[in-house]
Amino acid sequence: MKKLSLLLALTTATPALAASSNPFSGHFWTLTNTNLIVLLGFLVFVGILFWKKVPSMIGGMLEQRAEGIKSELDEARALREEAQSILASYERKQREVQAQADAIVAQAKKDAEAAADKAKEDLKASIARRLAAAAEQIDAAEAAAVREVRDTAISVAVAAAADVIAKNMGATEANAMIDASIDEVAAKLH
């Protein structure tokens, strides 16, 4: 009954009647008072909101949203930590690979230098053997005849000089090729 009278009072109060009341006239509890109508409408509205449990629904929705945001932040934090660990792993592997590459280049340089030194020593030994052989031939030819010695000495000297020149040019070219190979290995590893 009370609700019905309130509803009747709300429907019979028109905006024209509510606007015509003077808020300072002292008749606050009349239905012609605008302030009373607004207050009653507001209280009814707030009552409906509480009756339908709207504040708790809004609170629940806000809590769900907050939980969703928190879970997304936790997931993002976990993904960031995982990405950082993967990055650190790749950086560590890159350093290891770089160290291995540097070691390979250093070993290749040592090997190339050793091969060059051995080639020089072999060349010197070969020249020494050939010179010794030429000296023996010269000594044997001296005993035969002076003229034959001269002719033999000239031909042996020419042959020995040609061998020495050919071997020296071969060694220089060999050294140049070894240096070029070292540079090529270094360029491919970097």
Q: What CA–CA distance (Å, rounded) separates 46 from 41?
A: 9
**Domain ranges across the chain:** 1-52, 107-189
Report, as ranges of residue numbers, the positions in the chain whose pLDDT lies below 50. 1-8, 11-20, 23-24
Task: Quick: pLDDT tens for 37-55.
Answer: 899 899 999 988 888 888 8
DSSP state of 25: S
pLDDT given at position 174: 62
pLDDT given at position 1: 45
Tokens of 77: 């934090």
Q: What CA–CA distance (Å, rounded) separates 35 from 70?
A: 45
Q: Report the predicted TM-score, pTM, of the whole model to 2 decimal places.
A: 0.35
* Contact call for residues 173 and 180 (beta carbons, < 8 A): no
pLDDT given at position 105: 93
Task: Quick: pLDDT tens for 129-162.
Answer: 888 888 888 777 666 656 776 677 677 766 765 5
- Tell me which residue has tokens 């034959």: 148
Closest Cα partner for 163 from 174, 171, 175?
A: 171
